[in-house]
Amino acid sequence: MFLSELAPLVKELSQKPVAFMGGFVSGLLGLSLDQKPVSDWLKQYGDYQPPSPPPPPPSDFKSIRIE
Protein backbone atom coordinates (compact mmCIF):
# COMPACT_ATOMS: atom_id res chain seq x y z
CA MET A 1 0.00 0.00 0.00
CA PHE A 2 2.74 2.46 0.91
CA LEU A 3 4.76 1.57 -2.18
CA SER A 4 1.83 2.28 -4.49
CA GLU A 5 1.67 5.82 -3.09
CA LEU A 6 5.33 6.35 -3.92
CA ALA A 7 4.99 5.09 -7.51
CA PRO A 8 4.23 8.53 -9.08
CA LEU A 9 7.18 10.01 -7.20
CA VAL A 10 9.57 7.34 -8.43
CA LYS A 11 8.22 7.68 -11.98
CA GLU A 12 8.92 11.44 -12.06
CA LEU A 13 12.34 10.91 -10.51
CA SER A 14 13.30 8.35 -13.14
CA GLN A 15 12.01 10.43 -16.10
CA LYS A 16 13.56 13.81 -15.19
CA PRO A 17 15.95 13.38 -12.28
CA VAL A 18 17.63 16.82 -12.49
CA ALA A 19 14.36 18.78 -12.56
CA PHE A 20 12.86 16.57 -9.85
CA MET A 21 15.80 17.03 -7.50
CA GLY A 22 15.89 20.77 -8.21
CA GLY A 23 12.23 21.11 -7.29
CA PHE A 24 12.66 18.86 -4.27
CA VAL A 25 15.64 20.81 -2.92
CA SER A 26 13.97 24.16 -3.55
CA GLY A 27 10.94 22.90 -1.64
CA LEU A 28 13.11 21.82 1.27
CA LEU A 29 14.83 25.19 1.33
CA GLY A 30 11.53 27.08 0.99
CA LEU A 31 12.47 28.73 -2.29
CA SER A 32 9.73 30.01 -4.57
CA LEU A 33 9.68 28.36 -7.99
CA ASP A 34 8.42 31.62 -9.50
CA GLN A 35 11.50 33.64 -8.60
CA LYS A 36 14.15 34.26 -11.20
CA PRO A 37 17.14 32.05 -10.35
CA VAL A 38 15.10 28.95 -9.56
CA SER A 39 12.67 29.27 -12.47
CA ASP A 40 15.50 29.92 -14.95
CA TRP A 41 17.36 26.84 -13.74
CA LEU A 42 14.25 24.65 -13.96
CA LYS A 43 13.43 25.97 -17.45
CA GLN A 44 16.93 25.12 -18.59
CA TYR A 45 17.17 21.63 -17.09
CA GLY A 46 13.60 20.45 -16.73
CA ASP A 47 10.03 20.67 -17.80
CA TYR A 48 8.92 23.66 -15.76
CA GLN A 49 5.59 25.36 -16.25
CA PRO A 50 4.73 28.36 -14.10
CA PRO A 51 1.70 27.92 -11.87
CA SER A 52 -1.57 28.87 -13.48
CA PRO A 53 -3.92 31.34 -11.78
CA PRO A 54 -6.92 29.90 -9.97
CA PRO A 55 -10.12 29.61 -11.99
CA PRO A 56 -12.76 32.31 -11.50
CA PRO A 57 -15.70 31.48 -9.24
CA PRO A 58 -18.79 30.04 -10.93
CA SER A 59 -21.32 32.52 -12.26
CA ASP A 60 -24.06 31.13 -10.03
CA PHE A 61 -21.93 31.77 -6.92
CA LYS A 62 -24.00 33.10 -4.03
CA SER A 63 -22.46 34.72 -1.00
CA ILE A 64 -23.82 34.12 2.45
CA ARG A 65 -23.45 36.22 5.53
CA ILE A 66 -22.29 34.57 8.72
CA GLU A 67 -22.67 36.42 11.98
Model confidence over 22-63: pLDDT tens digits? Answer: 778 878 888 776 777 777 776 776 666 666 788 877 777 677
Contact present, 42 and 27 (Cβ < 8 Å): no
Cα 33 to Cα 40: distance, rounded to the nearest angstrom: 9
Residue 1 has pLDDT above 70, yes or no: no
pTM, rounded to two decimals: 0.41
Contact present, 18 and 45 (Cβ < 8 Å): yes
Give the pLDDT of residue 51: 67
Cα 50 to Cα 55: distance, rounded to the nearest angstrom: 15
Give the pLDDT of residue 47: 63
Whole-number Cα distances in Å, 2 to 6, 7, 8, 57? 7, 9, 12, 36
